[in-house]
A = this chain, B = another copy of it.
Amino acid sequence: MKIGIIGANGYTGYELMRLLANHPRADVVYAGSRSMAGRKVPSLYPALSGVYDELRFESPNASVAAKKCDIVFTALPHGLSAEMGAELIKLGCKVIDLSADFRYDSIPLFEKTYEIAHPCPGLNEQKVYGLCELNRKKIVKSTKLVANPGCYPTASILALYPLLAEKVISPDGIIIDAKSGASGAGRKADEAFSYCESSSNFKAYAVTTHRHTSEIEEKLSAAALSPVALNFTPHLLPVKRGILATVYANLVPAAEKRIADVYKAFYEKEPFVKVNPEGEMPELKFVVGSNICRIGYKVDLRTKKVIIVSVIDNLIKGASGQAIQNMNIMYSLDERMGLPAVGNQL
């Protein structure tokens, strides 16, 4: 497969190139980036030298990309990404979009959250929301557009969806206290993300206002078959990679005994979602560097809650790895192809 990446200079673009270097069936032939146009890829990312020595960033152009590529990963700012995606699809490309543009079923909810008019609501209806473990069957040969989920939503929805769908927990009172590494903010020159400002620090941000809240709520409402309004609080960890979400949910009476079975029914055969026995909480380092989501939980009968810990690598399962997983599904390849199944730990 001939692969294009538009927005290739960002961290998700880098991660796509890095991971696809190990994919036996994929060949990155197009790297679109306005700001880096003309430069060789390794001049920005020296770790890629030796592998992408001849690849140059070029100014994003749908016609050029469509001619060269079977499938294009779009990773532009919201609004722009949908426009580029629409053009590419018209020109016959498949598109996996890593922006927020096609993540919502509800256009009004998207527009309220992102404060722009959706550039192509019609196209939005044809997308599949690419949370692979939930929507795998909807991604078929003829699928043209996959909306790759947000990083926080991936960790959060994988933890909560089964328990809501099976009525183990109440849709009310859910709290997601999430912590992410700095790469979640992307590649940019921003004083607030400088080493001196972020190292040895920790902070909550966007309290009650983070955009991923509505993405999570839309998907969980579908699971619960009733509206879910929850609290989502993101924090910035002094690490490069990884998301750990600590989730608090109210147990349906006596349902605590079904948790293990419900998770098992959903995830037992999944190569990239692993649920621990009760009480064994996964750590960030167990998944950083891999495409795996690990989930642990603990019941608190005193407060009638279950506390769930869900961890992913935000750039892999939370972005570029899941995008490749979606590509593999789309092309009926082994879903694991080119994707790391062992975290760094060390």
Q: What residues of chain A have their CB less than 8 Å away from a CB belonging to chain B?
A: 11, 14-15, 18, 21-22, 45-51, 173, 175, 177, 179, 182-183, 187-191, 193-205, 207-208, 229-231, 233, 235, 237-242, 244, 246, 248, 271, 274, 279, 281-290, 292, 294, 298, 300, 302-303, 305, 307, 309, 315, 340-346
Contacts and interface: CB of A to CB of B under 8 A. Distances in A.
Given A175-B248, A281-B207, A196 B187 contact: yes
Nearest to A271: B50
Contacts of A11: 196, 346
Contacts of A248: 175, 177, 231, 248
28 contacts: A18-B345, A18-B346, A22-B340, A46-B294, A46-B345, A47-B342, A47-B343, A47-B345, A50-B274, A175-B175, A177-B177, A179-B202, A182-B194, A189-B189, A189-B194, A193-B195, A195-B197, A196-B240, A199-B238, A200-B288, A202-B237, A203-B281, A203-B282, A204-B309, A207-B307, A207-B309, A233-B307, A235-B244
Contact of A202 (B177, B196, B198, B284): B284
- Interface secondary structure of A, over-half rule: loop
9 A-B pairs with the lowest CB-CB distances in the bound complex, closest first? A47-B345, A47-B343, A203-B283, A195-B198, A177-B177, A201-B285, A182-B195, A189-B191, A202-B284
A133 B259 CA distance: 43
Given A179-B179, A235-B244, A289-B289, 14 more contacts: A11-B346, A48-B342, A179-B235, A201-B239, A202-B242, A203-B282, A203-B283, A204-B309, A207-B298, A229-B303, A231-B303, A231-B305, A238-B238, A238-B239
B191 A191 contact: no
B14 A346 contact: yes
Given A229-B303, A284-B202, A237 B240 contact: no
A175 B182 CA distance: 25
Contacts of A187: 191, 194, 196
A269 to B, nearest CB: 12
A152 to B, nearest CB: 15
Contacts of A203: 244, 281-284
A268 to B, nearest CB: 12
Among A191, A201, A241, chain B packs the most CB atoms within 10 A around the CB of: A201
Contact of A290 (B47, B241, B345): B47
